[in-house]
Chains A and B, each alone.
Chain A
Amino acid sequence: MTAVPAREAETEHRNGLQLMRALIQITLSDFKESVRAKWFLIYSLVFGGAVILLFVLGITESKVLGFTGLSRLLVTYIQLCVAILPILVLISTVRSVVGDREANILEYFLSMPVSLGAYFWGKVISKFFLIFVPILSALIGAVIWGFFKNLAIPWSIAGYYAILLGSLSWCFLGLGMYISTVVKKQEWGLGLSVLIWLILLLFIDAVLIGLMMQHQIIEGVIVGIALLNPVMVFRTGAVLLFDPELTAIGPASYVILDRLGFAGFLSFSILYPILLGWLFSTLGFLRFKKGDLA
């Protein structure tokens, strides 16, 4: 009487184990392949090199708007990340699915007993570590360097920045994976990535200031646009710790801060990109699952 349920339970356990093994294998193989690829080397050099360059240029000795020492370096590093992190993440992830499809790798791997979930999420996990590890290493490197140079270590800021960078990476990773499942050719994916990046950069304070000054659009819409833009949210959140009044950046950020409050905005700047990343990656997975695979 109990033989059939026992067999079913065993099959279920086996299937679960097989799924987990496939997920681990896809994650590992994608990780290894990406490490071998040149983009990863360039990507790591950009972030690691940025920190080294900032130290070499003596940025810790300078003082701007009251920031000096390691804080000065971190704020410069984070400003650099605002500009380059989204596009680097997009470029390195947008080819994941469409690239495999074009090269017939997808056809081969998906002819093996690998679930679509294991394939897609395995790539997402691998890419997240590949993207985040160099950024985090650069941040940790800066802290260690500061420690040896006897600079004051702003621990809470460094910790918050690590989370913020992780959150932004996740957001653009999700977007990159989504684009990768939607486009038919890698070139289109790359083109779309650059376009999205430019639009998001344009719609930080630079354009918003213009709109506000011209009084062409009501304030609520401008604040809404700013809040929807993960780059803007990241930038504002990053500066908030140094400049709680946000006097150093544009008016849209100031209005947002006024509405959400200090703690509210800090939480929002972490949670919103994470949610956006989940939303895009889930949409990407659904698109991948429901369409033609090869």
Chain B
Amino acid sequence: MIQINALTKKFGRFTAIDQIDLHVLQGDRIALIGLNGAGKTTLIRIILGQYLFDGELQVFGKNPRQHRVEILDRIGFVPQIPPPIQMSVGELVSFAAAISFRSSRAAIIEKAHALGFEIESNLKKPFLKLSGGMKQKLLIALALAREPEILIMDEPAANLDPQARQAFFLMLLRSMEKTTMILSSHRVDEVINLITRIVEIDHGRIIQDEQINRSHMADTQLNCRVILTEPNDQATQFLEEWNFMQGENRLAFDGSFIGAERLRFMTTIAHFANQIKSLHIN
């Protein structure tokens, strides 16, 4: 799907990408990791045909600079920071639906609804005035509505609440077989259950490229019961954010999350370890 050989990108004297070789196959789900400034965004922009480069790059067997529209029609992109678009939500949806035969207004509305964002009731609202999470949900919906063959996302879940993140991950997991994904992230644990391959970039070079086992429980709904030792406001707030229901004695909480989110749940709830009497996941 993506063939990269000896790819180099320089900005003046600064080498942002240095002789990279990378072959992305159909169905690959890659976590592109690295520190800020490592070269992740530059590599993504090159793949999207936005930068000139030295070396070889083919996406769907074609050069993305020369066949931009054809290639980009088959790629969905979600940026990390939502751009300050002045359009209203309705205008942005109409725009995205009109520029591609693969997209439609109905598909965008459906994807956004699945993520917990109701487009119909926000049509007139300026995109700029939406909350960070709402913007992100809309951008994800716009990208997914085209049923892209390659999905490129730069820290896509950074602004999402737990419910939206789970819905988003479920969407990704369900389209896994046909969609190739590149998820740029500075933390691999955020996306570990979604991916099959880790590519780490440092100073413009690939320093690690390895396959990992696919998580078979990623899209399984896991039930969870948490019992606190004593009432704790912060722990309660955290569990409520994850949609847990509080029991009658105010100490027991029941809820569920998908397997892909269990690591995130566990690492966050670990902050309240001293207030937890028991925790069961099944």
Interface of A is mostly: helix
Asked if B72 lies at the interface with its beta carbon under 8 angstroms from chain A, I say yes
Across the interface, B87 reaches (CB within 8 A) one of A22, A33, A104, A294, namely: A33
Asked if B60 lies at the interface with its beta carbon under 8 angstroms from chain A, I say no
Asked if B77 lies at the interface with its beta carbon under 8 angstroms from chain A, I say yes
**Cβ–Cβ contact B69 & A113, under 8 A:** yes
Q: Min CB distance, A45 to chain B, in Å? A: 20
A105–B79 Cα distance when bound, in Å, is 10
- The interface size bin for chain A is 20 to 34
Q: Min CB distance, A290 to chain B, in Å? A: 8
Asked if B36 lies at the interface with its beta carbon under 8 angstroms from chain A, I say no
Q: Which of A12-20, A211-219, A221-229, A277-285 contacts B (4 or more CB under 8 A)?
A: A12-20
Asked if B220 lies at the interface with its beta carbon under 8 angstroms from chain A, I say no
Across the interface, A294 reaches (CB within 8 A) one of B45, B85, B96, namely: B45
Of residues A15, A111, A292, which shows the largest number of chain B Cβ atoms within 10 Å of its Cβ? A111
**Cβ–Cβ contact B50 & A294, under 8 A:** yes
Asked if A147 lies at the interface with its beta carbon under 8 angstroms from chain B, I say no
Interface size on B, residues (CB 8 A): 30
**Cβ–Cβ contact B100 & A115, under 8 A:** no
A230–B236 Cα distance when bound, in Å, is 70
B55-114, CB < 8 A from A: 68-70, 72-73, 75, 77, 79, 81, 83-87, 91, 94-96, 98-101
A116–B68 Cα distance when bound, in Å, is 9
Asked if A110 lies at the interface with its beta carbon under 8 angstroms from chain B, I say yes
Residues of A with C-beta under 8 A to B52: 290-292
Residues of B with C-beta under 8 A to A18: 69, 73, 99-101
Asked if B51 lies at the interface with its beta carbon under 8 angstroms from chain A, I say yes
**Cβ–Cβ contact A29 & B91, under 8 A:** yes
**Cβ–Cβ contact B99 & A107, under 8 A:** no
The chain A residue with its CB closest to the CB of B126 is: A36
**Cβ–Cβ contact B99 & A21, under 8 A:** yes
Q: With A18-B100, A104-B81 in contact, do A33 and B69 touch (Cβ < 8 Å)? A: no
Across the interface, B68 reaches (CB within 8 A) one of A29, A33, A108, A115, namely: A115
Q: Min CB distance, B202 to chain A, in Å? A: 22
**Cβ–Cβ contact B72 & A111, under 8 A:** yes
Q: With A103-B84, A115-B69 in contact, do A21 and B51 touch (Cβ < 8 Å)? A: no
**Cβ–Cβ contact B79 & A107, under 8 A:** yes
**Cβ–Cβ contact B101 & A107, under 8 A:** no
A252–B87 Cα distance when bound, in Å, is 48
Residues of B with C-beta under 8 A to A105: 83-85
Across the interface, A111 reaches (CB within 8 A) one of B48, B51, B87, namely: B48
A108–B87 Cα distance when bound, in Å, is 13
A262–B95 Cα distance when bound, in Å, is 49
Residues of A with C-beta under 8 A to B101: 14, 18
**Cβ–Cβ contact B51 & A292, under 8 A:** yes
Residues of B with C-beta under 8 A to A112: 72, 77, 96, 99-100
Of residues A113, A115, A290, which shows the largest number of chain B Cβ atoms within 10 Å of its Cβ? A113
Residues of A with C-beta under 8 A to B69: 15, 18-19, 22, 113-115
**Cβ–Cβ contact A108 & B99, under 8 A:** no
A92-115, CB < 8 A from B: 103-105, 107-115
Residues of B with C-beta under 8 A to A108: 77, 79, 83, 85, 139
Asked if A293 lies at the interface with its beta carbon under 8 angstroms from chain B, I say yes
Residues of B with C-beta under 8 A to A107: 45, 50, 79, 83
**Cβ–Cβ contact A25 & B48, under 8 A:** no
Asked if A287 lies at the interface with its beta carbon under 8 angstroms from chain B, I say no
**Cβ–Cβ contact B95 & A104, under 8 A:** no
The chain A residue with its CB closest to the CB of B139 is: A108
**Cβ–Cβ contact B50 & A25, under 8 A:** no
Write 29 A-B pairs (CB below 8 A) sorted by A numbering.
A14-B101, A15-B69, A18-B73, A18-B99, A18-B100, A18-B101, A36-B86, A37-B86, A103-B84, A104-B83, A105-B85, A107-B45, A108-B83, A108-B139, A109-B83, A110-B48, A111-B48, A111-B50, A111-B72, A112-B72, A112-B100, A113-B69, A114-B69, A114-B72, A292-B51, A292-B52, A293-B49, A293-B50, A294-B50
Given pairs A25-B98, A108-B139, A110-B50, 19 additional interface contacts (CB within 8 A): A14-B101, A18-B100, A21-B98, A25-B95, A103-B83, A104-B81, A104-B83, A105-B84, A107-B79, A108-B77, A109-B83, A110-B68, A111-B79, A111-B152, A113-B69, A113-B100, A291-B52, A293-B51, A294-B45
Q: Which residues of A contact B (CB under 8 A)?
A: 14-15, 18-19, 21-22, 24-25, 29, 32-33, 36-37, 103-105, 107-116, 290-294
Closest CB pairs A-B (n = 6):
A111-B77, A113-B73, A293-B50, A294-B50, A113-B72, A108-B83
